[in-house]
Amino acid sequence: MLEKIEHIGIAVKDLEKSEALFNALLNQTPYKREVVESESVQTVFYQSGPNKIELLQALAPESAIAKYIDKKGEGIHHIAFAVDDIVAELARLKDAGFQLIHETPKEGADGKLIAFLHPKDTNGVLIELCMDKNK
Ligand code: ZN
């Protein structure tokens, strides 16, 4: 089951500048910063009520975030839903005809197992499923 929007991922060019902006917007500092080597991204996370905001900056030109910004500019990159059983959800969505970017979950930031659905099946919106690793 897709339980709730867990976080919204925002692609940014200059994390330092964006952090200053979101610090002012949300009146707080990030609770976490983390490099995800497999994706070549630097991330920071803010808590906003029950949801989170993830800022993502590319660390290499071949990073998906760098490619996204080249094509579409900065902005909302993905919406992540919390799921109770990511393997079961991926199977359900595949059966329902959704194209999966990741057939099996992988390690994401913030202590999560994650997987993405292809945006061509979801009105151009990149959807992430995420599940707490120590669940
Ligand atoms: Zn995310």
Q: What is the pTM of this model?
A: 0.93
Residues with CB under 5 A from ligand 1 (ion): 9, 54, 80, 128
**In the prediction, which pLDDT does 135 show?**
65
Are the C-beta atoms of residues 24 and 17 closer than 8 Å to each other?
A: no
Describe the strand order of the beta sheet including 112-117 as a list of residue ranges: 32-36, 41-48, 51-58, 2-11, 75-83, 127-132, 112-117, 106-107
**In the prediction, which pLDDT does 15 show?**
98
Any bridge partners for residue 114, and if so which? 106, 130
pLDDT tens digit string along 39-59? Answer: 899 999 999 999 999 999 999
**In the prediction, which pLDDT does 109 show?**
87
Question: In degrees, to the nearest 5, what angle opens at C-alpha 118 toward C-alphas 15 and 34?
Answer: 30
Largest CA distance in the chain: 43
According to DSSP, residue 123 is labeled T
How far apart are the CA of 80 and the centre of ligand 1, in A? 6
Instruction: Collect the ranges in the chain with pLDDT lower than 70.
Output: 135
